[in-house]
Structures are given as structure tokens and as C-alpha cells.
């Protein structure tokens, strides 16, 4: 079996957040001890509510900021320091796609110029080869070379996200971090862009970290799914198995709110309590104020992420192994 492309070992990132001009700074544990492995050619879906630390995890994995603790290895090598020549070479193999395609593009430049930009920055090919590559990329994302002459404002939301995708693919990366890449698009356009991403992944053997709060989309594209809550992974496992049989009470609530196509949403678990606030993480299991199954121990003791059978890991005091799974 080949080695994983991305190995994330216990990364953490804390920010100081001040409330008001004279308020005391509070530590926000945006990411706390997250470990992930992404096999080559696979998609790991990272899900959770807003404030769960998904996007910060994506930025740490991509090396856009360093973790306070822990390490990221890409293709067997540690991430190099930001801004160095070695980092730029590594970075050409790793790209990011953001939620807002209009914000990611320069409205003053034709989109062909923007697709070509990474080739110019990394000095890849002659000018004529770069122009050829731009036409090839436009076709790859199912647009025509004529679209290249347009400005972002003259394209639809779906076309703009295709341009962002074409630009991300310009340097022939191995790894894409997609941060809510379709959540700003209409539902019908979302499906087209996700299908295109799936096709390109298969054609180009891409490895993806796909960040989304939308389980419907994550279910469609992911091989493995990790669920985050207030900076920690609370459950991880094969996508089909996890969606068919979620173990963690938080995952169960998320899955119940996003039924599979053709399945009715009866039995939806509605969570009570406040949505997660990263600046005020509860002690013990951070989910305990909202958890319908919480016991006394949950308020004081952080549950470790532990193997519970198969490739599943769960962080819950009540889910402790194969016996628990079989009894459920």
C-alpha cells in the first residue's frame, strides 16, 4: 500500500480574542489536537457547524499558517516554512478553493489572465505553452477558450467557480483543499460543480480535503469523513459506514438532519442549547451542554478519540468499542 499523501499529527492552533476594547483576551482553541491521514487519490470530508475549526484546519494543513503544536507532512516530508523557495515548490503541488469565487478573483482582469497567473508565478513553460495550458484548463472545467476573455462580473456563479478550479489546477497539483466550494451556489449548480470535481479527481488522481457543513455534498464526494466540534475531531470513519451508522451523538444529530436521498427525515434529532461558541468551550466533552445522552462524567472529562471497530474512531464516553456498536 502506498504511503498517505497528507499526514496531520496532533495539530493545535489557539488565538487570543478580546471582547470589546478593554475586555480581557480569551484563548480560542480553534483547532485542538487534530490528527488526519489522507490517502492518495482519496477525499476526506471535514464536516461540522460554523466555528468547529474546519477552515482553520484546512489552512494549517496547507501551511498558510503554522500550527502552535503538532506537525503536517506532505508526500512524506514536513511542511516547509512559509515564504521560502522550498515552500513555493511544495505549495505548487497543493492548492485551495474558497467558498466565494467572486472574492477569489480579481474583477479587473480577464479570467484567462488569472488562470495563467500561477504558471507565471512559478515560471512554468514558455509564454506560448502557458496560453495553451490556459485553453486546456478552460476545456477541462467545461468552458470554452472564449470564456477566458471575459471578466468575472460577466460570468455566472457556477462559471466563476469553474474558473477558480481551473486556476487551482494550473500547476498540476496533487492535493486540493476545498473550503465550502459550492455553498455559495444554487443547488442545481452545486451538483454540476461537485460532479465536475469528482470527474477531475478521477482523471487527475487528485487528493482532496473537502470542507463543508453540508452533509449531502460531503456524502457524495468523500471516501472518509471526519466530524469536528469546537476544535476537536469527535468521529472519523469510512463515509458509507459513518452515514449508515453514526456513533457519536453529535454525528447522529447531523446525519438525522440530512437524510439520504429517498429516505424520509423521520427521527430527526433536534439539538437543544446554544450553538458552539469557540471563545467559551465547555469543560469536559465540549458537546455535553447539548448532548441528549450526557452523563455526569461528561462535564469534567474530555473523551479521547478511540477506535471502536473497523476503521471508526469516536470521542464519546458511551461509545467504547465493538461491543457498544453491536449493542446499538
Contacts with ligand SF4 by CB under 6 A lie at 248-249, 285, 287-288, 291, 293-294, 298, 303, 316-318
Of the pair 118, 249, the CB lying nearest ligand SF4 is at 249
Give the whole-angstrom CA distance, residue 258 versus residue 4.
30
Give the whole-angstrom CA distance, residue 150 versus residue 201.
26
Give ∠ CA 156-160-163 in degrees, rounded to 5: 145
Of the pair 199, 301, the CB lying nearest ligand SF4 is at 301
- 72's grid cell: 503536517
Residues 135-146: b if buried by 16+ CB within 10 A, e if exposed:
eebbebbbbeee
Instruction: Output the CA–CA distances (angstroms, integers) from residue 137 to 121, 172, 202, 298, in the order listed.
Output: 17, 10, 16, 51
- State in angstroms the smallest separation of the CB of 128 from ligand SF4: 59
Please list, in sequence order, all residues whose beta carbon lies within 8 angstroms of the beta carbon of residue 58, skipping any fewer than 6 positions away. 46, 96, 177, 179, 209, 211
- State in angstroms the smallest separation of the CB of 323 from ligand SF4: 16
Give the whole-angstrom CA distance, residue 278 versus residue 213.
16
Of the pair 64, 318, the CB lying nearest ligand SF4 is at 318
Of the pair 61, 291, the CB lying nearest ligand SF4 is at 291
Residues 94-104: b if buried by 16+ CB within 10 A, e if exposed:
bbbbbbbbeeb
Please list, in sequence order, all residues whose beta carbon lies within 8 angstroms of the beta carbon of residue 292, skipping any fewer than 6 positions away. 249, 269, 271, 272
195, containing H or E segment: helix 187-204
Of the pair 59, 290, the CB lying nearest ligand SF4 is at 290
Of the pair 273, 310, the CB lying nearest ligand SF4 is at 273
- State in angstroms the smallest separation of the CB of 272 from ligand SF4: 13
Q: Let me know: does 82 contact 66? Beta carbons within 8 Å.
A: yes
- State in angstroms the smallest separation of the CB of 293 from ligand SF4: 4
Q: Let me know: does 256 contact 263? Beta carbons within 8 Å.
A: no
- State in angstroms the smallest separation of the CB of 33 from ligand SF4: 16
Of the pair 33, 66, the CB lying nearest ligand SF4 is at 33
Q: Let me know: does 95 contact 88? Beta carbons within 8 Å.
A: no
Of the pair 134, 285, the CB lying nearest ligand SF4 is at 285
- State in angstroms the smallest separation of the CB of 263 from ligand SF4: 24
- State in angstroms the smallest separation of the CB of 314 from ligand SF4: 8
Amino acid at each position: 500500500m502506498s504511503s498517505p499523501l497528507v499526514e496531520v499529527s496532533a495539530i493545535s492552533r489557539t488565538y487570543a480574542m478580546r471582547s470589546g476594547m478593554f475586555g480581557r483576551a480569551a484563548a480560542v482553541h480553534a483547532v485542538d489536537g487534530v490528527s488526519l491521514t489522507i490517502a492518495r487519490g482519496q477525499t476526506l470530508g471535514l464536516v461540522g457547524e460554523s466555528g468547529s475549526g474546519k477552515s482553520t484546519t484546512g489552512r494549517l494543513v496547507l501551511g498558510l499558517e503554522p500550527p502552535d503544536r503538532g506537525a503536517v507532512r506532505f508526500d512524506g516530508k514536513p511542511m516547509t516554512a512559509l515564504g521560502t523557495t522550498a515552500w513555493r515548490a511544495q505549495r505548487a503541488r497543493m492548492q485551495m478553493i474558497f467558498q466565494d469565487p467572486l472574492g477569489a478573483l480579481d474583477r479587473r482582469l480577464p479570467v484567462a489572465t488569472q488562470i495563467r497567473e500561477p504558471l507565471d508565478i512559478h515560471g512554468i513553460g514558455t509564454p506560448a505553452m502557458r496560453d495553451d495550458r490556459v485553453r486546456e484548463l478552460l476545456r477541462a472545467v467545461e468552458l470554452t477558450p472564449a470564456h477566458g476573455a471575459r471578466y468575472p462580473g460577466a460570468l455566472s456563479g457556477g462559471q466563476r467557480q469553474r474558473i477558480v478550479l481551473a486556476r487551482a489546477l494550473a500547476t498540476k497539483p496533487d492535493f486540493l483543499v476545498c473550503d465550502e466550494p459550492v455553498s455559495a451556489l444554487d443547488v442545481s449548480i452545486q451538483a454540476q460543480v461537485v460532479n465536475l470535481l469528482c470527474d477531475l479527481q478521477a482523471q487527475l488522481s487528485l487528493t482532496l480535503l473537502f470542507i463543508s457543513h453540508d452533509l449531502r455534498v460531503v456524502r457524495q464526494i468523500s471516501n472518509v469523513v471526519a466530524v469536528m466540534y469546537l476544535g476537536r475531531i469527535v468521529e472519523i470513519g469510512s463515509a458509507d459506514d459513518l452515514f449508515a451508522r453514526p456513533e457519536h451523538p453529535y454525528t447522529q444529530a447531523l446525519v438525522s438532519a440530512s437524510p439520504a436521498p429517498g429516505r424520509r427525515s423521520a427521527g430527526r434529532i433536534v439539538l437543544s442549547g446554544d450553538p458552539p461558541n469557540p471563545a467559551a468551550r465547555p469543560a469536559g466533552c465540549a458537546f455535553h451542554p447539548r448532548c441528549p445522552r450526557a452523563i455526569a462524567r461528561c462535564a469534567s472529562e474530555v473523551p479521547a478519540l478511540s477506535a471502536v471497530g473497523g476503521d471508526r474512531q469516536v470521542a464519546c464516553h458511551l461509545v467504547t468499542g465493538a461491543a457498544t456498536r453491536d449493542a446499538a
